[in-house]
Amino acid sequence: MLLATLLVAGSFIISARLAAVAPAASLTLLRFVLAAALLLPWVLRRADRRRQLWRAMPRGLTISLFYALFFILMFEALHSTTALNTGTLFTLVPALTGIAGIWLLRTRVSARQGLSYLLGMLGALWVIFEGSPDRALALQLNAGDRLFLLAVFCMCAYSLCMKLLYRNDSVAVLTCATLLGGAIWMGLMVWLTETPLQWQALAPADWLAMVYLVVCATLASGYLFQGGSIHLGPQRVMAYTYLNPAAVALLLWLFGGEPVAAWLWPGILLSCMATWWLQQHASSRPMPAAQRAEH
């Protein structure tokens, strides 16, 4: 799970690099096409998976709409905000999804979970508002932060759709349907808006960055999160989301030479406390067989 967290944190930094190279819709289309191309042969090699894929496509189209919107908004947001800010705002996903799940999925949130969510949100807000109470009270988010906040709501909708529209499918098949659906949505958007692809503008280093987003941040991290959900349970897996600000700051320091500003540490420590609290109080028992099959 720590490896998966680092892979996801790296995706914010890599996406910030690519955001200036080509339009957001074009980059998102390329990401979906490459990821689907890698997964599709494995799905198509067996007749039962082919039948499942055909049945899953309508639901994949619904799920992928929010998934595609998340990536578009992320690339657009990175034109005017930082990888650290987007990685920090992403920590709002568990709490917002949990709140929406109370209403849509009839799930329960314990007082300890609620406290963990609150700590994580406070840590995220501390980083976003640079530790300034005045900025927080005035809600001084920059344009990129506001765009990525919309992306966070799209990711919450994506997570809820995954749960609501699940029909005992193979995880790989539903993932493939989602990737194909995302490619369809993005192809339509690129065509209707006449967005230039500009893939020829990608330098060799940019193609390597795209390979990272496809292989590491999409396929590998998804596999690791699914395995973590089976062995640790979804609550403990969710806790690692709060390490995103620390992971992004660490990667920027190691590979970008950017020191961690002193005002970031209180927010990072609050996020780490939220992770620790959820780890301590979430159930560590293995998931039942029915849940393992679902994941």
pLDDT in tens, 275-293: 888 777 664 444 444 444 4
Q: What pLDDT does 281 receive?
A: 67
Q: Provide, rounded to the nearest whole percent, the portion of the chain with pLDDT above 70.
A: 91
**Residue in 250, 247, 281 with CA at minimum distance from that of residue 117:** 281
DSSP sequence for 92-128: HHHHHHHHHHHHHT-----HHHHHHHHHHHHHHHHHH
Radius of gyration of the chain (CA): 19
pLDDT at residue 110 greater than cutoff 60: yes
- Among 33-47, 179-193, 266-280, the range scoring the smallest mean pLDDT is 266-280
Q: What pLDDT does 227 receive?
A: 72
Q: What pLDDT does 145 receive?
A: 92
Q: What pLDDT does 234 receive?
A: 62
Q: What pLDDT does 295 receive?
A: 43
pTM for this model (two decimals): 0.81
Q: What pLDDT does 286 receive?
A: 43
H helices present in 169-264, as ranges: 171-192, 204-211, 221-232, 234-239, 244-256
Q: What pLDDT does 146 receive?
A: 92
Average pLDDT over residues 29-52: 94
- Is the CB of residue 240 less than 8 Å from the CB of residue 5? yes
Chain segment 119-172, per-residue pLDDT in tens: 887 887 788 777 777 777 666 788 999 999 999 999 888 888 877 887 777 878
- Cα-flanking dihedrals φ and ψ of residue 22, to 5°? -145, 165
Dihedral of CA 252/209/213/20: which sign?
positive
Mean pLDDT of the chain: 85
Question: Domain spans of the chain?
Answer: 2-294
Chain segment 222-247, per-residue pLDDT in tens: 778 767 766 776 667 777 888 888 88
pLDDT at residue 101 greater than cutoff 50: yes
- For residues 13 and 9, give the distance between their C-alpha atoms in angstroms, rounded to a whole number: 7
Chain segment 245-274, per-residue pLDDT in tens: 888 988 999 988 888 888 888 888 888 888
- Among 30-34, 36-40, 258-262, 284-288, the range scoring the smallest mean pLDDT is 284-288
Specify the DSSP class assigned to residue 260: P
Q: In 3-state terms, what secondary structure has residue 281?
A: helix
- Helices and strands counted in the chain (H then E): 15, 0
**Residue in 82, 81, 74 with CA at minimum distance from that of residue 144:** 81
